[in-house]
Amino acid sequence: MAAPVVAKSGVRLPGRPRDPRADAAILTAVVELLAEVGFGGLTVDAVAHRAGVGKATIYRRWDGKEQLVLDALSTEVQLMATPDTGDLATDLRQIYEPMAEPVAQQSATRLMPALAAEAAVNPELADRLRSFVAMRRGAAKDAIQRAIGRGEVDPSTDVDLCIDLLTGSLLYRLFFSGADVGIDVIQQAIALVLRGIAP
Amino acid sequence: MAAPVVAKSGVRLPGRPRDPRADAAILTAVVELLAEVGFGGLTVDAVAHRAGVGKATIYRRWDGKEQLVLDALSTEVQLMATPDTGDLATDLRQIYEPMAEPVAQQSATRLMPALAAEAAVNPELADRLRSFVAMRRGAAKDAIQRAIGRGEVDPSTDVDLCIDLLTGSLLYRLFFSGADVGIDVIQQAIALVLRGIAP
DNA sequence: CAGTTCCGAAACCAACCAGTCTCGTAAGTG
DNA sequence: CACTTACGAGACTGGTTGGTTTCGGAACTG
């Protein structure tokens, strides 16, 4: 599961220790290149060059390209804070508005399609992707269920469907239509869905 | 723009004519393989073998892999009937329910991510994909605008946003969550959006 | 018939790339 | 110091694949 082939231990082994900065540089290079040239265009040579690292250093730490890429993607997955402001619209805005930031859009436009495409062929990646998605859904799911508890939302609401509508529409814009996704679009989408699930 | 390197003409040239079935067999093989192994895994040899055709036949008709794939994708694009039943919910159901069919799902799960990924890197494909998407949006757009004219829908509605919500959520399910998309899900999504845009 | 263009099969070539290895060196241990 | 392991750089290998060519033969025109 861990990135390096040899796990770090408290015991100091003889010999030069691995440069810990290399791990980060390599993983960052993988993510950047994945976004630039896609899954198919990714070469280990390019990763090594961009990371300022020898190929041997990469193969000393990972078993191969496959593992390297899977690890780089896991690194991209960061936990998301679960807002609880007492108002569903505000909660959802806090969850989805980060998608309007250019950094997130770069990631979504370039990286996510590469992932989706590869996941269709690579079952292990598909699993990781699904668990990542499930994790991200958690925050929104909690927010909606709390709102149902408060009577803010019709109790017969299909929570998963709501999340699919919001997340899906925003990603879809980024993927296909080429339209930009600003805060205004996100707020409109939230408003529309909230009207649709009002009690 | 045309698939064959040499355009067909009414004048009969000397020599054996090209077998017209080969074109179809090759393009079908490309689409199938694209769905099975993705963009990166597609090889011309595999296309030739599945199509029951020599590689030379492929290169006699297309300039290379790039053109071949672009052409195969254009073939997949078929015009969509624009329903006009007088009721928005019915119109939308007719537009989106075909997505519940297994064939469409296979295409959406496998082919679309491959396209999205490649479009992020390949501008020419991105253009084709965008025009394809725009075309498909037309039917839904017309239906909603007619409904606005009938007073069935709030006139301040953002039509594009509605379409993004519906299309995006369904594709998103297929891409990432691994959940199946049945007619019931589609109907619920339509119902929710319609409640959200009621006058 | 001759001449032309097609056909599938397969050999072939050149480029690319994952993965390995070697080299001279650096950074740790004792 | 000796010893060990990591380092970047780059040479090397083996397999894959895009693209070309060759082959014997088939399908046309005239």
CATH number of the domain where residue B48 is located:
1.10.10.60
Short-list B77, B5, B69, B76, CA closest to B37 = B69
Residues B69 and B56 in one domain: yes
Task: Write the Ramachandran bin of B52: left for phi over 0, alpha for psi from -120 to 50, otherwise beta.
Answer: left
Q: Give yes or no for a contact between B106 and B31, defined as CB atoms under 8 angstroms apart.
A: no
**Which nt has its C1' nearest the CA of B59?**
D19
B60, B75, B90: which is the final residue of a domain?
Answer: B75
Residue A8: pLDDT band (50, 70, 90) is very low
Looking at chain A, the whole-number percentage of residues with pLDDT higher than 90 is 50
Question: How far out from the chain centre does Cα A195 lie?
Answer: 28
Q: What is the pLDDT of residue A148?
A: 96
Tell me which residue has tokens 């250019």: A102
CB B162 within 8 A of CB B156: no
Q: Do A128 and A35 have their domain in common?
A: no
Please provide the DSSP assignment of A82-126 as one string: ----S-HHHHHHHHHGGGGSHHHHHIIIIIHHHHHHHHTT-HHHH
Contacts of A199 in chain B (CB under 8 A): none
Same domain, B165 and B68: no
Contact of A192 with B161, CB cutoff 8 Å: yes
When CB atoms are compared, the residue of B121, B177, B193 closest to A38 is: B121
Clarify whether residues A62 and A28 are in a common domain: yes
Residue A178 lies in domain: 80-196
Residue A118 lies in a domain: yes
- Whether the Cβ atoms of residue B112 and residue B175 lie closer than 8 Å to each other: yes
Split at pLDDT 50, 70, 90, the class of B10 is low
Q: Do B117 and A119 touch (CB under 8 A)?
A: no
pLDDT in tens, B36-63: 888 888 999 999 999 999 999 999 999 9
DSSP output for B100-127: GSHHHHHIIIIIHHHHHHHHTT-HHHHH
Q: Which nucleotide is nearest to B14 (CA to C1')?
A: D29
The answer on B49 and B94 residing in a single domain is no
CATH number at residue B105: 1.10.357.10
Asked whether the predicted pLDDT for residue A65 surpasses 80, the reply is: yes
- Shortest distance, CA B175 to any CA of chain A (angstroms): 6
Round to whole Å and give the CA distance between A145 and A135.
16
Q: Do the domain assignments include residue B98? A: yes
Residue A7 lies in a domain: no
Residues 6 or more apart in contact with residue B104 via CB below 8 angstroms: B98
Q: Count of domains in chain B?
A: 2
Burial of A20 (0-12, 13-18, 19+ CB in 10 A): exposed
* Whether residue B130 is found in the same domain as residue B47: no
| Per-residue model confidence (pLDDT) at position B1 | 34
Number of H helices, E strands in chain B: 10, 0
Q: Is 50 exceeded by the pLDDT of residue A4?
A: no
Indicate the average pLDDT of chain B. 85
Q: Flag whether pLDDT at A59 surpasses 60.
A: yes
Residue A165 and residue A112 share a domain? yes
Question: Which nucleotide lies closest to A57 by the C1' atom and the CA atom?
Answer: D7
Q: Do B158 and A117 touch (CB under 8 A)?
A: no
CB contact under 8 A, A38 and B120: yes
Identify whether residues A84 and A161 lie together within a single domain.
Answer: yes
Tell whether B188 is covered by a domain: yes
B63 with B146, same domain?
A: no
User: Domain boundary at B45, B75, B105, which?
Assistant: B75
- The reply to whether B90 falls in a domain is yes
Residues A28 and A107 in one domain: no
Specify whether A68 is located in the same domain as A138: no
Q: Among B75, B106, B138, which residue terminates a domain?
A: B75
Identify whether A136 is part of a domain: yes
Domain assignment of residue B124, yes or no: yes
pLDDT at A7: 45
A29 with A111, same domain: the answer is no
Which chain B residues are closer than 8 Å to A120 by Cβ? 38, 109-110, 113-114
Residue A15 included in any domain? no
Judged by CB atoms closer than 8 Å, whether chains meet at B120 and A37 is answered as no
pLDDT per residue as tens digits for the range B119-150: 877 887 788 788 877 877 888 999 999 999 99
* Residues of chain B positioned with their CB less than 8 A from the CB of A173: 164, 168
